[in-house]
Amino acid sequence: MKHGKGMAQAVVLVMVVLALALPALATAQTTRAVVTVNAQWVKQGGLTTVYVAGDQITNVTGMFQERGVYFYPSKLGYKALLSASIDLKADTYPLQLLIEYADGTSERIDQPVTVASGGYATVSLYVVGALLPLTDPTVEDAEIAKVFNIMDRFTPARYWDGGFILPNPNDLVAWFGTYRSYNGQSYLSRHTGIDIAVGEGVPVPVSASGRVVLSQPLPIRGGYVLVDHGWGIYTGYAHLSERFVVPGDWVNQGDVIGMSGMTGRVTGAHIHFEIAVDGAWIDPEDFLALGLDTATE
């Protein structure tokens, strides 16, 4: 049964991709849906919400920069979280929408979305000699590939209820998106989350309800826990000295999933907190500012 379901989902995905790849239909045709992007522009590593409203809409599917954009029924129409990759060039891109109606018809709409520069700075950091091998870009690339191999598994269910919170209210000591040079090397890595100032051994609560999909030591992130919240949203917690959960565990907002530490490629103890939406790293501060909760659906 699992294989049959997987094949059916694959067929549906292929059909949607083929439909979105077709040229836009007769431009003189009246558009039956209203598309609203709730921002004039989206920064690199940022996100916004998109609504598609209209009579008798039964399904909406989107593609943005070759990534799926998933829509869900809400009070204001079909809703999606639209994320822009941190590495996406500042420009205007089409959000390709396939809208299906109860009468069996469908239409294609290309909604322009402007991606603006994130204005990310470059910082220089120094690590002890024993950690220098972890500045090798091949090590970082392999680790990110491992994490994204999991985060590419989209979960259509919504696991969270009541929004998201920071795992600790302390001050930030490093911000999302910065280019990082280690020990004067020319290679620049990207900071995929925010760093929260804490000492070792501080409890780390999960940001929202979800299912643990990864819990293990990684070369750069050290003790790491990754949680799937559904709707393509994942949160990650790095440099933990202890981990209290294993893959498959269900957690509720505020549950302690580990203790802070200084494992992996670090210059001191802290909590590295990162968020990905639909396969793109997102600024956690921007994500939390959306105020996602059931009251806004």
- Indicate which CATH number applies to the domain containing 6: 2.60.40.10
Q: End of a domain among 66, 95, 116?
A: 116
Rounded to whole angstroms, the Cα distance separating 85 from 67 reads 10
User: Are 96 and 130 in the same domain?
Assistant: no
Going residue by residue through the chain, which has 297 residues, state the pLDDT in tens, using 9 for 90 and above: 434 444 344 434 444 443 444 333 323 345 899 999 999 999 999 999 999 999 999 999 999 999 999 999 988 899 999 999 999 999 999 999 999 999 999 999 999 999 999 999 999 999 999 999 999 999 999 999 999 999 988 898 999 988 999 999 999 999 999 999 999 999 999 999 999 999 999 999 999 999 999 999 999 999 999 999 999 999 999 999 999 999 999 999 999 999 999 999 999 999 999 999 999 999 999 999 998 875 455
User: Are 23 and 168 in the same domain?
Assistant: no
User: Are 185 and 56 in the same domain?
Assistant: no
Domain count, the chain: 2
Nearest residue to 206 via CA among 247, 250, 171? 250
User: Are 233 and 192 in the same domain?
Assistant: yes
User: Are 175 and 290 in the same domain?
Assistant: yes
User: Are 148 and 275 in the same domain?
Assistant: yes
- Indicate which CATH number applies to the domain containing 227: 2.70.70.10
User: Are 81 and 15 in the same domain?
Assistant: yes
> By residue range, what is the domain housing residue 286?
122-296
Residues whose CB is less than 8 angstroms from the CB of residue 258 and which lie 6 or more positions away in sequence, other chains included: 204, 223, 225, 237, 240, 241, 242, 243, 244, 245
Q: End of a domain among 70, 90, 116?
A: 116
Q: End of a domain among 116, 133, 167?
A: 116
Beta bridge partners of 218: 222
Nearest residue to 276 via CA among 150, 174, 180? 150
Map the chain to HEC letters.
CHHHHHHHHHHHHHHHHHHHHCCCCCCCCCCCCEEEECCCCEECCCEEEEEEECCCEEEEEEEECCEEEECEEECCEEEEEEECCCCCCCEEEEEEEEEEECCCCEEEEEEEEEEECCCCCEEEECCCHHHHHHHCHHHHHHHHHHHHHHHCCCCCCECCCCCCCCCCCCCEEECCCCEEEECCCCCEEECCEEEECCCCCCEEECCCCEEEEEEEEECCCEEEEEEEEECCEEEEEEEECEECCCCCCEECCCCEEEECECCCCCCCCEEEEEEEECCEEECHHHHHHCCCCHHHC
User: Are 137 and 238 in the same domain?
Assistant: yes
User: Are 95 and 143 in the same domain?
Assistant: no
User: Are 190 and 215 in the same domain?
Assistant: yes
pTM score: 0.88
User: Are 71 and 158 in the same domain?
Assistant: no
User: Are 107 and 136 in the same domain?
Assistant: no
